[in-house]
Amino acid sequence: MTDSWSTTEMRFRDPARARALAARLAEVVEGAGRKISVMHVCGSHEQAIAKYGLRASFPKQLEVIMGPGCPVCVTDLPEVDEAVALARAGVRIATYGDMLKVPGTSMSLADAQTEGAKVDIVYSVMQAVELAKSTTDEIVFFASGFETTAVATAAVIVQGVPKNFSVLSAHKYIPPVMEIVAEMPGATVEGFLAAGHAATITGSAIFERFAARHHKPVVVAGFEPLDILAGLVALVELVVAGNATAINAYPRCVSRDGNKVAQALLWKVFRATGGRWRGIAHVPSGNLRLRDEYADVDARRRFTIDMQSLWDMAPPALVAQCVCGDIMAGIASPSACNLFGKACTPETPVGACMVSSEGTCRIWHQYGGHPDLVRIGRAV
Amino acid sequence: MCLGVPGRVIAVDGMIATVDFWGVKKQVRLDVIDEPVTPGDYVLNHVGYAIRRIPPEDIGETLALYDELLAGKSGADLMADDVRGELAASVTASASPRPAND
Ligand code: SF4
């Protein structure tokens, strides 16, 4: 095995419990006597699965696919273009580190920065506000992330922000995209592992309605190896039993109704509108945009954003070969991409999935990838 | 960006809590948490905001995962880096005076 593997060996705090869960998983899948495909909708799940080498412990007949769980990866090209266009027009952009290298139609924010545009990396929206207070420059916070992160943006806006601060929202809302993926033609997914922390905000009840509508079970699971294994056992049991319900296997962070204060803040500031998720589809109600009441802090209304000049430039040819979208829709894996690890690496990413710490390509590249794990056998 | 980190509340002042993260004191905002928070509580924090009070019986398990993640090398471990990013988000909160219209 490669060196990258030695740093990612499985280290369970409770190996006995891990072994028991893996054995139970194998038993349930074997009992079904057929292939079972489930999807998780969370970049942190994929990180944990790869980091701890969990795939090696999954039964051969079980396929665990990563869905659209990386907020950076689903940020659509025109959204990146808007930020790039503003940056090139002399506006100072503050954004989360993951957004810097995400390719737009013809360039990323990092490329714009190289050309002289001002782009600041922040870890929180409050840092962006601080930046605005320290300068007379117009600061646009290019906001990405799912509901968990959007809530922070909402809270800051409600608190009140300096006059030279505005928000370019690329925030996305997870529940609607699950509807799309569940109905995708050709999708073989029979159940979903939902992301623990986004569900902290929305609550698990939202998935009860989803499960009933699509006749597919959902299990809300945490991020540690044992959480994921336990979540998968519960999910596969439900699939085999044909029981389309939702289970909260992560009660330490998720309640049935979610965080109502956070939900109220979220919907006070944002409205859900339809929009494209990169590579996946148009997702009705999948984009979070500022409500009219907050038009004065909406960068889209404060500035005239000229993206035409970007679109007039020839788009990089390699991007056409990126299959990020298919990966996030659960119908391809990075090994299906000719560029993976060759033309496309974390240093020179071609697609957004190679940029974000939650992108499948980046995760597979970092932790040695999925195919190799099979060779080291059943490690648990 | 979605991981969140747990920490123990040391003091509460209006909408700002001082939280102990592995021995380092930082401040997080309480605007979006849905339960009253008092010193001694553990909260899950995301980009500078507490988003959930962790039930006392679940704290041991929650902390253990993060202990292990933080032991990971910087640059070599995506999850460890995400956790460090979350901690950095709270550092800034502590450096910030209260927002204007508070
Ligand atoms: S390896 Fe790069 S080009 Fe290929 S699908 Fe992943 S992000 Fe796209």
Distance A322 CA to ligand 1 centre (A): 5
Q: Is there a contact between A252 and B85 if contact means CB atoms under 8 Å apart?
A: no
Within this chain, do residues A83 and A228 fall inside the same structural domain, yes or no? no
A131 and A194, same domain (yes or no):
no
For residue A361, the enclosing domain spans 317-366
Whose tokens are 């050309």? That residue is: A115
Distance, in Å, from the CA atom of A91 to the CA atom of A89, rounded to the nearest integer, reads: 6
Is there an atom of ligand 1 within 6 Å of A102 CB?
A: no
**B26 reaches A (C-beta below 8 A):** no
In a domain, A263, yes or no: no
| Contact assignment for A51 to B31 by CB distance below 8 Å | no
Which residues are within 8 A (CB) of A78 and not within 5 positions of it... i.e. 6 or more apart?
Answer: A105, A276, A307
Is A363 touching ligand 1 by the criterion CB < 6 Å? no
Tell me the longest C-alpha to C-alpha distance in chain B: 41
- Give counts: helices (H), strands (E), chain A: 17, 11
Co-location of A94 and A150 in the same domain: yes
| C-alpha count within 13 angstroms, C-beta hemisphere, residue A134 | 10
Neighbours of A280 (CB within 10 A): 24
- Ligand 1 mean position, distance from CA A339 (Å): 6
| pLDDT, position A159 | 93
For residue A251, what pLDDT is reported? 82
Does residue A63 sit in the same domain as residue A82?
no
- The verdict on A34 and A84 lying in the same domain is no
Residue A378, domain member (yes or no): no
pLDDT at A70: 86
CA distance A7 to B77: 9
Tell me how long chain A is: 380
Condensed to tens digits (0 to 9), the pLDDT of residues B30-59 reads 999 999 999 999 999 999 999 999 888 777
Is A291 among the domain residues?
yes
Predicted confidence (pLDDT) per residue in A100-133, tens digit: 999 888 889 999 999 999 999 999 999 999 999 9
Looking at per-residue confidence, does A336 or A165 come out higher?
A165
- The C-alpha of B80 sits at a distance from chain A's nearest C-alpha, in angstroms, of 10
d(Cα A221, Cα A124) in Å, to the nearest integer? Answer: 25
Is residue A23 domain-shared with residue A84, that is, in the same domain?
Answer: no
Question: Above 70 in pLDDT, residue A71?
Answer: yes
In a domain, A222, yes or no: yes
Q: Which of A71, A130, A261 lies closest to B1 in CB terms? A: A71
Tokens read off for B24: 């380092």
Report the domain count for chain A. 3
Question: Under 8 Å CB-to-CB from B20, ≥6 apart: which residues?
Answer: B7, B8, B9, B10
Average pLDDT over residues B50-70: 78
Residue B94 is predicted with a pLDDT of 47
- Measured by CA distance, the residue closest to atom 6 of ligand 1 is A361
Question: Domain with A153 in it: what CATH number?
Answer: 3.40.50.11740
Contact indicator for A176, A283 with CB cutoff of 8 Å:
yes
Mean pLDDT of A198-219: 92
pLDDT at A139: 98
Are both A293 and A148 inside the same structural domain? yes
In this predicted structure, the answer to whether residue B101 has a pLDDT above a threshold of 50 is: no
Parallel/antiparallel/unpaired status of strands B16-21 and B24-29? antiparallel
How large is the average pLDDT for residues A219-228?
A: 87
A7-66 pLDDT, tens per residue? 333 455 677 888 899 999 999 999 999 999 999 988 888 888 888 888 888 999 999 988
Q: Is the pLDDT of residue A380 over 60?
A: no
Chain B residue numbers touching A201 (CB-CB < 8 A): 51
A375 pLDDT exceeds 50? no
For tokens 């699509």, the residue is: A214
- B47 and A197: CB-CB below 8 Å? no
Ligand 1 centroid–CA A355 distance in Å is 9
**Do residue A168 and residue A227 come from a single domain?**
no
Give the one of A13, A152, A261 whose C-beta lies nearest to B46's C-beta.
Answer: A152
Q: Would you call A252 and B47 a contact, using CB atoms and an 8 Å cutoff?
A: no
- Percentage of chain A exceeding pLDDT 70: 92
Dist CA A207 CA A178 (whole Å): 10
Cβ-defined contact of B48 to A148 (cutoff 8 Å):
no
Task: Give the chain A residue whose CA is nearest to the CA of B60.
Answer: A252
| Residues in contact with A16: Cβ distance below 8 Å, sequence separation at least 6, in sequence order | none
Domain B5-95 has CATH 3.90.700.10: no
A238 C-beta neighbours (distance < 10 Å), count: 23
- What type of residue is B93? A
Report which protein residue has its CA nearest ligand 1's atom 3: A322
Q: Which one of A12, A124, A355 would you mutate to disrupt binding with B, by most B Cβ within 10 Å of its Cβ?
A: A124
Same domain, A120 and A160: yes
pLDDT attached to residue A124: 92
C-beta of A350 in contact with ligand 1 (< 6 A): yes
Q: Which residues contact A231 (CB under 8 A, 6 or more apart)?
A: A193, A219, A220, A221, A222, A249, A250
Contact B95 A42 (CB under 8 A): no
A63 and A92 belong to one structural domain? no
The length of chain B, given as a count of residues: 102
Query: What average pLDDT does range A252-275 have in this prediction?
Result: 93
Cα–Cα distance between B30 and B11 in angstroms, integer?
12
**Angstroms from B91 CA to nearest CA on chain A:** 9
**Mean pLDDT for the stretch of residues A71-93:** 93
List the alpha helices (DSSP H) in A285-369: 299-302, 308-312, 324-328, 360-367
Highest mean pLDDT among A11-15, A71-75, A185-189, A292-296: A292-296
The closest-lying atom of ligand 1 relative to the alpha carbon of residue A353 is 7
Residues of A in contact with B55 (CB under 8 A): 251-252
pLDDT band at B92 (very low <50, low <70, confident <90, very high): low
Q: Is B11 helix (H, G, I), strand (E, B) or coil?
A: strand
User: Which residues in chain A are contacts of B101 at CB distance < 8 A?
Assistant: 159-160
Residue A201 is nearest to which of B51, B90, B92, comparing CB atoms?
B51
Q: ipTM of the predicted structure?
A: 0.82
Contact check, Cβ <8 Å, B47/A160: no
Residues in A touching B33 (Cβ below 8 Å): 259, 261-262
How far apart, in whole angstroms, are the C-alpha atoms of residue B34 and residue A170?
25
Residues A163, A105 share a domain: yes
Average pLDDT, chain A: 87
The SS3 assignment for B18 reads strand
Q: For residue A227, what pLDDT is reported?
A: 87
Residue-wise DSSP of A127-186 = HHHHHHHT-SS-EEEEE---HHHHHHHHHHHHH---TTEEEEE--B-HHHHHHHHHT-TT
Whether B64 has a pLDDT exceeding 90, the answer reads no
Q: What is the pTM assigned to this prediction?
A: 0.87
End-to-end Cα, chain B, rounded Å: 26
